[in-house]
């Protein structure tokens, strides 16, 4: 089932903007400072929406295309916010052959989001990963670090209900 793209409105505060501008002022004249500024920005905001990338671009005098290119190239940067409850489904070999793909699809269906997205209410975000080191419990998903193993598709609604 295809998911409708969800967007969460940018909710940056003046305090966060001041904090980011202070970081940029401190680092911008140092060679190679774009990555550290972007890392600090993500620490401040939790992710790098286009509004934050634009601030970095404007304050550092770097084209927005370059900032965006770096933010999309490196996996450490998130362009979507993470939810209060961070769901990660293992799609590594052991989990996948035991049905984690179906579990991931069920989560997409129930939440109306797909990989890397966050529900509009900011409650859940959904990500895939390659291994959580619990192959004996396959298939596995985690919610905020709590591991759920030996899952079936029928287990998913009940697990989500615990977080409502």
pLDDT of residue 8: 67
The token duo for 13 is 């505060």
Strand partners, 124: 85
pTM of the model: 0.72
- Residue list for the binding site: 90, 95, 131, 135
Rounded to the nearest angstrom, the gap between the alpha carbon of residue 134 and the centroid of all alpha carbons in its chain is 22
- Residue list for the binding site for [2Fe-2S] cluster: 90, 95, 131, 135
DSSP per position, 114-127: -TTEE-TTSSEEEE
pLDDT of residue 9: 80
Residues 117, 133, 70, 107, Cα dihedral to 10°: -10
The residue ranges of the chain whose pLDDT is under 50 are: 1-6
Q: What is the pLDDT of residues 32-45, one digit of tens each?
A: 999 999 999 999 99
pLDDT of residue 23: 97
């Amino acid at each position: 089932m295809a998911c409708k793209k969800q967007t969460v409105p940018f909710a940056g505060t003046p305090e966060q903007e001041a904090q980011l501008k202070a970081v940029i002022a401190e680092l911008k004249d140092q060679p190679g400072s774009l990555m550290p500024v972007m890392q600090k920005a993500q620490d401040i905001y939790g992710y790098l929406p286009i509004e934050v990338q634009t601030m970095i671009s404007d304050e550092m005098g770097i084209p927005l295309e370059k900032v965006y290119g770096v933010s999309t190239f490196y996996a450490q940067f998130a362009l979507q916010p993470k939810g209060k409850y961070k769901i990660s489904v293992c799609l590594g070999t052991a989990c996948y052959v035991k049905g984690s793909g179906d579990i991931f699809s069920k989560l997409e269906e129930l939440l109306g989001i797909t990989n890397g997205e966050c529900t509009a209410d900011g409650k859940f975000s959904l990500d895939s990963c390659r291994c959580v080191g619990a192959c004996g419990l396959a298939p596995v998903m985690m919610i905020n670090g709590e591991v759920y193993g030996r899952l079936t598709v029928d287990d998913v609604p009940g697990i989500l209900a615990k977080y409502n």
